[in-house]
């Protein structure tokens, strides 16, 4: 079956070659959680990849792109998956990676095989140091949590703040990054509360009661987007933190675009910092959201993960075009991506040539009730061209000599 | 008269044990298949080594579940301890020699098995199921709290281990990893086989079939279960260490419920209480999971679930049970 189809491809290829224009079919490995508890994240990125390929297939003619999708959900070992994508499926690039441990596990493989890995989510800060072939288009928690520290102390009037986080790496990173920025700006941390693990949504009431007793000005939160964030916002309203004047602040994960409409009045007035919201007012985003809505309907808007996946695929197209489909030299591809910039739905983004990590604007965004009665976001302020602060400040593992 | 009776009984017992211990030609089959796979699928060896690791893990579970009848949903605890033993030794103490790493992993996991077994094995059935499950969760949370040492859920990245026997380095195609895993699996299989055909092994089966009766003939039930649990934990630890060696990475997800449950499903598929059930169960489950996940990245679990339901409904003794039944029928010896 496989042989037959590759023969057909070969014949087709011959036809094209005889016609004069030599088109290559570039295979790209997509590693995302398609099953299990994180399938939701995978879907937000998978839709973005597919949509980009569909909209822009003509841009790289006569070359073609073929996505080879693999599950990084439960039971899969990322190392095996990526190894086989490279050795069997002959992919020239791998992209996706929702979960940091998968990217970390696969890092030695892409180094050994010299195949670029374009990360569209996995946010542990030091991942980019694990291999010279890793380029990240998403973020680290330090991108958004560290500037929020100084912003909340200077602009939002948060003199004291309690921090709550889900007890796993992104949560711990967000808490530490926020605290570092916040204390430097003169803020006082009232309490730091680990709030359960990512596998189950906890009852947030006791944690929020503890916050209420501490009476801080603000409550900074990281929880995984989805069921956790919905549960947190609900409890935030019920416990009466909002009524008590404790302002909810946090990362964009707390108010994911595709869950926002279900959150109700409790979330109005919350202020988060992040690089993307579906409501952002720039031409690239308007076009992106319009395409997305046409393809997937208005009830399932794109979110920050979709935007990062969109940019990663755009970068892949850029590379294919620039190198005329010849992607065999992975080092050359990475070289080309260093300093790469584009007008993204997130505004202007670029890849830091030093760290191969994304540089992007971080926006303080307030959740408001829009004129049409729907919940939306309003940009209050922008921190421009933020690099991964973990590597800039050389915190912990980020300070160790990487590649 | 009594003396000759005793001699006769002893002779019968020896014959019974010898019949069980006899090597059958079919036992060569899995090993021939495993070696053949090395040559037939040279580009699938990384995956192959994962199958072999899971076969070893399933074998360790078979000792306690299949032979001694100890129902556990927490075997990932020992797999994880083994993985973290070699991972931490390599990352923190620069102890990267793989074979001594395996021994260290077996020791640590075996020790943990003995320690937890003293308490846990006083319970049976549902209580034991929940207790073993919680033990694994506690270990996982422990690893999360001490993330400065364990690396937490992000794990211990980029572990590098010395070449096996100082000669064979790990390559991208997984040739070394495969042969290394196969060799370790073979040695462990021989060990497990020796245990289950021994009088000790038969007494485990006795405990599984009728605990009260074993008590009444004076067998030290708790002690024997504890020994079985310890050996099984040590083997699971070796499997975990192999997993770390072949992946060059350990994360706290080794303690996930999916890991404990997955290995249980493999064993049920292959057939419990039949040494090679662990081998075939792992092969069938992993190959099925891999091909279904490629066919449909989102819905492959439905296929695996369906197979499990069919197995439990129509083939309670697993794949090997079916093969045995077919063999009996061919020989004309009843159903």
Q: Which residue of chain A has the CA closest to B260?
A: A75
List of chain B residues whose C-beta atoms are within 8 Å of the C-beta of residue A197 = 141, 144
pLDDT band per the 50, 70, 90 thresholds, residue B3:
low
CA distance B299 to chain A (A): 7
**Number of domains chain A is built from:** 2
Residues A211 and A146 placed together within one structural domain of the fold: yes
Give yes or no for a contact between B40 and B165, defined as CB atoms under 8 angstroms apart: no
Residues A28 and A165 placed together within one structural domain of the fold: no
Residues A296 and A191 placed together within one structural domain of the fold: no
Report yes or no on A403 lying in a domain. Answer: no
The domain containing residue A267 runs over which residues?
142-274+360-388
Q: Which residue of chain B has the CA closest to A101?
A: B154
Q: Name the percent of chain B lying above pLDDT 70.
A: 97
pLDDT band per the 50, 70, 90 thresholds, residue B313:
confident
Q: What integer is the mean pLDDT of B212-232? A: 90
Report yes or no on B227 lying in a domain. Answer: yes
**Nearest C-alpha neighbor of A345 from the set A388, A285, A271, A286:** A285
Residues A218 and A252 placed together within one structural domain of the fold: yes
Q: Which residue of chain A has the CA closest to B257?
A: A74
CB contact under 8 A, A84 and B253: no
CA distance B88 to chain A (A): 16
Q: Which residue of chain A has the CA closest to B48?
A: A80
CA distance A107 to chain B (A): 8
H or E segment to which residue A366 belongs: strand A358-369
Give yes or no for a contact between B234 and B109, defined as CB atoms under 8 angstroms apart: yes
CB contact under 8 A, B258 and A197: no
Binding-site residues on chain B for chain A (CB distance < 8 A): 43-44, 46-47, 50, 141, 144, 147, 152-155, 157-158, 172-174, 247-249, 251, 253, 256, 258, 262, 289, 293-294, 297-301
Q: What integer is the mean pLDDT of A145-160? A: 93
* ipTM greater than cut 0.85: no
Report yes or no on B300 lying in a domain. Answer: no
Mean pLDDT for all residues in chain A? 88
- Look up the pTM and report it: 0.84
Report yes or no on A394 lying in a domain. Answer: no
Q: Radius of gyration (Cα) for chain B, nearest Å?
A: 21
**Number of domains chain B is built from:** 1
CA distance A393 to chain B (A): 19
Binding-site residues on chain A for chain B (CB distance < 8 A): 32, 34-35, 39, 69-71, 74-77, 79-80, 83-84, 86-88, 100-101, 104-105, 107-109, 112-113, 124, 130, 167-169, 172, 197
Q: Pick from A75, A108, A113: which is nearest to B248 by CB? A: A108
CB atoms within 10 A of CB B287: 14
List of chain B residues whose C-beta atoms are within 8 Å of the C-beta of residue A390 = none
pLDDT band per the 50, 70, 90 thresholds, residue B9:
confident
List of chain A residues whose C-beta atoms are within 8 Å of the C-beta of residue B44 = 84, 88
Report yes or no on B239 lying in a domain. Answer: yes
The domain containing residue B244 runs over which residues?
27-256+272-279
pLDDT band per the 50, 70, 90 thresholds, residue A14:
very low
Q: What integer is the mean pLDDT of A306-335? A: 93
DSSP letters along B33-90, please? HHHHHHHH-TT-HHHHHHHHHHHHHHHHHIIIIIIS----S-THHHHHHHHHHHHHHH
Q: Residue A32 carries which DSSP code?
A: E
Report yes or no on B321 lying in a domain. Answer: no
Residues A245 and A374 placed together within one structural domain of the fold: yes
Residues A267 and A374 placed together within one structural domain of the fold: yes
Q: Rounded to an integer, what distance in angstroms lies between the CA atom of residue A185 and that of residue B20?
A: 75
Q: Rounded to an integer, what distance in angstroms lies between the CA atom of residue A333 and that of residue A92?
A: 10
Q: Tell me, what CATH number does A177's domain have?
A: 3.40.50.2300
DSSP letters along A142-154, please? HHHHHHHHHHHHH
Report yes or no on A402 lying in a domain. Answer: no
Q: Is A1 a residue whose pLDDT tops 90?
A: no
pLDDT band per the 50, 70, 90 thresholds, residue B243:
very high
- A23 φ/ψ angles, rounded to the nearest 5 degrees: -100, 135
CB atoms within 10 A of CB B210: 12
DSSP letters along B288-308, please? HHHHHHHH-TTTHHHHHHHHH
Report yes or no on A317 lying in a domain. Answer: yes
CA distance B237 to chain A (A): 18
Q: Pick from A76, A101, A197: which is nearest to B155 by CB? A: A101
Q: Is A159 a residue whose pLDDT tops 70?
A: yes
Q: Is A7 a residue whose pLDDT tops 70?
A: no
CA distance B38 to chain A (A): 15
The residues, any chain, with a CB within 8 Å of residue A17's CB and separated by 6 or more, are none
CA distance A72 to chain B (A): 9
> If you search the block for the tokens 């596998």, which residue do you land on?
A199
Q: Pick from B247, B251, B300: which is nearest to A35 by CB? A: B300
Q: Which residue of chain A has the CA closest to B256?
A: A74
Residues A221 and A84 placed together within one structural domain of the fold: no
List of chain B residues whose C-beta atoms are within 8 Å of the C-beta of residue A84 = 43-44, 46-47
Report yes or no on A204 lying in a domain. Answer: yes
Report yes or no on A15 lying in a domain. Answer: yes
Q: What integer is the mean pLDDT of A343-352? A: 94
Q: Radius of gyration (Cα) for chain A, nearest Å?
A: 22
pLDDT band per the 50, 70, 90 thresholds, residue A183:
very high
From the candidates B45, B46, B83, B148, which should be mutated to test the interface with A, based on the most A CB atoms within 10 A? Answer: B46
Report yes or no on B91 lying in a domain. Answer: yes
Report yes or no on B328 lying in a domain. Answer: no
CA neighbours closer than 13 Å in the CB half-sphere of residue A374 = 13
> If you search the block for the tokens 């792992």, which residue do you land on?
B282
Residues A124 and A90 placed together within one structural domain of the fold: yes
- Looking at A3-12, A200-209, A387-396, which range is the least confident one? A3-12
Report yes or no on B16 lying in a domain. Answer: no
pLDDT of residue A401: 56
Residues A260 and A377 placed together within one structural domain of the fold: yes
Q: Pick from B47, B147, B253: which is nearest to A80 by CB? A: B47
CB contact under 8 A, B297 and A69: yes
CB contact under 8 A, B253 and A101: yes
- Looking at A55-59, B40-44, B138-142, B185-189, which range is the least confident one? B40-44
CA distance B151 to chain A (A): 9
Q: What integer is the mean pLDDT of A109-116? A: 92
Please report the number of interchain residue pairs, chain A to chain B, with beta-carbon separation below 8 angstroms.
91
From the candidates A80, A84, A167, A197, which should be mutated to test the interface with B, based on the most B CB atoms within 10 A? Answer: A80
Q: Pick from B144, B157, B293: which is nearest to A71 by CB? A: B293
Q: Which residue of chain B has the CA closest to A32?
A: B297
Residues A268 and A155 placed together within one structural domain of the fold: yes
∠ Cα A252 A258 A259 (to 5°) = 80
First-last CA distance in chain B? 40
Q: Is B20 a residue whose pLDDT tops 80?
A: no
List of chain A residues whose C-beta atoms are within 8 Å of the C-beta of residue B256 = 74
pLDDT: which is higher, A5 or B317: B317
CB contact under 8 A, B247 and A107: no
Residues A318 and A211 placed together within one structural domain of the fold: no
pLDDT of residue B113: 94
Cα four-point dihedral sign A230, A236, A242, A245: negative
Residues A125 and A260 placed together within one structural domain of the fold: no
pLDDT band per the 50, 70, 90 thresholds, residue B102:
very high
CB contact under 8 A, B172 and A87: yes
A303 exposure class (CB count in 10 Å sphere: 0-12, 13-18, 19+): buried
Q: Pick from B43, B144, B289: which is nearest to A75 by CB? A: B289
Q: Rounded to an integer, what distance in angstroms lies between the CA atom of residue A238 and that of residue B28?
A: 66
CB contact under 8 A, A35 and B258: no
List of chain B residues whose C-beta atoms are within 8 Å of the C-beta of residue A75 = 258, 262, 289, 293
Q: Pick from A69, A75, A168: which is nearest to B262 by CB? A: A75
Q: What integer is the mean pLDDT of B47-71? A: 92
pLDDT (tens digit per residue) in A270-302: 999 999 999 999 999 999 999 999 999 888 899
């Amino acid at each position: 079956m496989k042989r037959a189809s590759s023969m057909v491809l070969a014949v087709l290829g011959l036809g094209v070659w005889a016609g004069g224009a030599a088109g290559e079919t570039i295979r790209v490995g997509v590693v995302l959680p398609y099953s299990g508890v994180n399938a939701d994240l995978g879907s937000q990125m998978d839709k973005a990849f597919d949509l980009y390929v569909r909209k822009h297939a003509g841009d790289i003619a006569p070359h073609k792109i073929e996505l080879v999708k693999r599950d990084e959900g439960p039971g899969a070992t990322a190392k095996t998956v990526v190894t086989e994508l490279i050795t069997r499926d002959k992919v020239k690039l791998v992209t996706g990676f929702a979960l940091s441990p998968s990217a970390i596990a696969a890092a030695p493989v892409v180094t050994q095989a010299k195949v670029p890995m374009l990360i569209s989510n996995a946010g542990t800060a030091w991942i980019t140091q694990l291999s010279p072939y890793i380029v990240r288009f998403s973020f680290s928690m330090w991108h958004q949590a560290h500037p929020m520290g100084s912003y909340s102390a200077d602009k939002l009037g948060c003199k004291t703040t309690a921090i709550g986080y889900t007890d796993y790496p992104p949560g711990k990173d967000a808490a530490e990054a926020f605290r570092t920025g916040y204390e430097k700006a003169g803020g006082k941390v009232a309490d730091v509360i680990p709030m359960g693990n990512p596998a189950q949504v906890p009852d947030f009431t006791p944690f929020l009661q503890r916050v209420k007793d501490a009476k801080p000005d603000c409550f900074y939160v990281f929880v995984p987007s989805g069921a956790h964030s919905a549960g947190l916002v609900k409890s935030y309203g019920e416990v009466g933190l909002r009524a008590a004047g404790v302002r909810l602040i946090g990362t964009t994960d707390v108010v994911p675009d595709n869950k926002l409409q279900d959150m109700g009045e409790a979330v109005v007035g919350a202020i988060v910092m992040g690089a993307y919201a579906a409501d952002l007012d720039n031409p690239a985003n308007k076009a992106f959201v319009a395409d997305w809505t046409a393809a997937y309907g208005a009830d399932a808007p794109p979110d920050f993960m979709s935007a990062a996946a969109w940019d990663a695929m755009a970068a892949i197209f850029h590379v294919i075009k620039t190198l005329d489909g010849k992607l065999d030299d992975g080092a050359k591809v990475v070289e080309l991506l260093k300093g790469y910039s584009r007008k993204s739905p997130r505004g202007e983004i670029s890849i830091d040539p030093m760290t191969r990590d994304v540089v992007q604007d971080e926006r303080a965004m307030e959740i408001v009730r829009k004129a049409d009665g729907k919940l939306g976001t309003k940009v209050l302020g922008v921190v421009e061209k933020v690099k991964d602060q973990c590597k800039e400040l050389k915190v912990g593992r980020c300070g160790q000599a990487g590649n | 008269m009594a003396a000759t009776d005793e001699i006769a009984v002893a002779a019968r017992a020896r014959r019974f044990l010898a019949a069980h211990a006899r090597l059958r030609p079919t036992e060569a089959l899995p090993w021939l298949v495993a070696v053949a796979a090395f040559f037939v699928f040279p580009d699938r060896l990384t995956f192959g080594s994962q199958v072999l690791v899971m076969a070893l893990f399933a074998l360790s579970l078979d000792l306690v579940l299949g032979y001694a009848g100890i129902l556990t949903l927490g075997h990932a605890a020992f797999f994880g301890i083994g993985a973290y033993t070699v991972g931490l030794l390599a990352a923190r103490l620069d102890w990267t020699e793989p074979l001594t790493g395996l021994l260290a992993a077996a020791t640590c996991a075996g020790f943990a098995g003995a320690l937890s077994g003293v308490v846990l094995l006083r319970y049976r059935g549902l209580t034991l199921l929940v207790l073993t499950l919680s033990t694994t969760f506690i270990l996982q949370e422990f690893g999360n709290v001490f993330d400065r040492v364990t690396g937490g859920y992000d794990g211990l990245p980029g572990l590098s281990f010395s070449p096996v026997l100082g000669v064979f380095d790990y390559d991208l195609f997984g040739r070394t990893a495969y042969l290394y895993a196969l060799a370790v699996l073979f040695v462990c299989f021989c060990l497990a086989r020796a245990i289950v055909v021994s009088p000790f092994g038969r007494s485990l089966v006795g405990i599984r079939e009728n605990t009260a009766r074993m008590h009444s003939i004076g067998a030290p039930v708790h002690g024997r279960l504890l020994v079985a649990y310890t050996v099984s934990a040590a083997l699971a630890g070796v499997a975990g260490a192999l997993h770390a060696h072949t992946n060059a990475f350990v994360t706290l997800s080794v303690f996930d419920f999916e890991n404990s449950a997955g290995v249980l499903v493999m064993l049920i598929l292959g057939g419990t209480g039949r040494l090679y059930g662990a081998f075939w169960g792992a092969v069938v489950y992993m190959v099925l999971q891999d091909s279904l996940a490629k066919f449909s990245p989102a819905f492959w679990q439905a296929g695996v679930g369906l197979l499990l339901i069919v197995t439990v409904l129509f083939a309670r003794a697993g794949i090997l049970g079916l093969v045995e039944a077919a063999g009996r029928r061919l020989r004309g010896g009843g159903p």
